[in-house]
């Protein structure tokens, strides 16, 4: 009798669970159903601007241009005025043909933070004139050598100052992979990426671009010039005073 009682009790509990519906066990979320962060989700439109300093150079700059042409992306080149001449004319013509634009990186690359207002203005104006002569463009943006800026420079140079996500590619010890990693870890929507087309050898920045560009495209990024970056973001580049742009939001 006792056994029958417990058997009936067990049956009743089973029937009650069926009637009320036992809580379903949680199933693991499939990898494809997991939400990606906005930085990794290719369905979220994102913009970035590649920028390169210290050129032009008749030998080194074309290696960067080869990658831009290969992946069909533009860039903004901050030129050193004394490098803008007949020897590099063909390089600049190719940059224009690829849809690139130009920024001002001073005439000699000397530290301007210790210069007078007159010296600063002369360096910037001379560089602007050379770039205009060979490319037809007047630079809209300025990048200070070594990102060293002063109050005098901000008051004298009538252009937006730009820095960017650093690839650390001035360091000859860094590899293409480490340069790419620095960029990919630091990039976000609206980022300005700061690299160099001209530095002492070994200089594997062109090889780093073979990693950076495909990966950022995979993440949903579109590459644009600096002017286009500000335009598409609806941001006035002159709205930031006494500071440098790194990300356009």
Q: What is the CATH number of the domain that holds 96?
A: 3.20.20.370
pLDDT digits (tens, 9 = 90+) for 51-85: 999 999 999 999 999 999 999 999 999 999 999 99
Q: Take residue 202 and report the two structure tokens written for it.
A: 């070994």
Residue 111 lies in a domain: yes
Residue 194 lies in a domain: yes
Burial (CB count within 10 angstroms: exposed 0-12, middle 13-18, buried 19+), residue 109: middle
Predicted local confidence at residue 197, as pLDDT: 98
Residue 6 lies in a domain: no
Residues marked as catalytic: 53, 196
Residue 28 lies in a domain: no
Q: Distance between CA 170 and CA 197 in Å, rounded?
A: 10
Q: Which domain holds residue 174?
A: 46-245
Cβ atoms < 10 Å from Cβ of 47: 17
Task: Say which range, 19-23, 34-38, 190-194, has the weakest mean pLDDT.
Answer: 19-23
Predicted local confidence at residue 9, as pLDDT: 42
Of the pLDDT bands very low, low, confident and very high (cuts 50, 70, 90), residue 36 is low
Q: What DSSP designation does 5 have?
A: H
Reduced to 3 states (helix: H, G, I; strand: E, B; else coil), residue 92 is helix
Average pLDDT, whole number, for the chain?
Answer: 88
* Cβ pair 189, 220 in contact under 8 A: no
Number of domains in the chain: 1
pLDDT (average), residues 78-106? 98
Residue 231 lies in a domain: yes
pLDDT digits (tens, 9 = 90+) for 123-151: 999 999 999 999 999 999 999 999 999 99
Residue 150 lies in a domain: yes
């Amino acid at each position: 009798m006792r056994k029958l009682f417990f058997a009936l009790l067990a049956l009743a509990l089973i029937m009650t669970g069926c009637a009320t519906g036992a809580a379903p066990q949680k199933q693991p979320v499939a990898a494809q159903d997991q939400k990606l962060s906005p930085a990794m989700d290719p369905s979220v439109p994102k913009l970035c601007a590649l920028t390169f300093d210290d050129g032009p150079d008749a030998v080194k700059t074309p290696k960067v241009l080869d990658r831009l042409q290969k992946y069909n992306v533009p860039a903004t080149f901050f030129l050193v005025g004394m490098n803008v001449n007949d020897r590099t004319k063909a390089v600049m013509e190719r940059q224009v043909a690829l849809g690139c634009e130009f920024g001002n990186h001073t005439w000699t690359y000397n530290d301007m933070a210790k210069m007078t207002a007159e010296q600063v203005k002369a360096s910037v104006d001379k560089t602007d004139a050379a770039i205009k002569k060979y490319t037809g463009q007047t630079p809209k943006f300025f990048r200070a050598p070594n990102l060293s800026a002063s109050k005098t420079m901000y008051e004298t140079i009538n252009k937006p100052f730009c820095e960017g996500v650093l690839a650390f590619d001035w360091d000859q010890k860094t590899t293409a992979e480490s340069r790419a990693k620095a960029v990919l870890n630091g990039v976000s929507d609206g980022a300005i990426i700061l690299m160099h087309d001209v530095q002492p050898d070994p200089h594997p920045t062109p090889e780093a671009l073979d990693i950076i560009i495909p990966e950022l495209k995979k993440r949903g990024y579109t590459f644009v010039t600096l002017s286009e970056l500000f335009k598409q973001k609806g941001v006035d580049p002159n709205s930031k005073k006494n500071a440098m742009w790194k990300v356009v939001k």
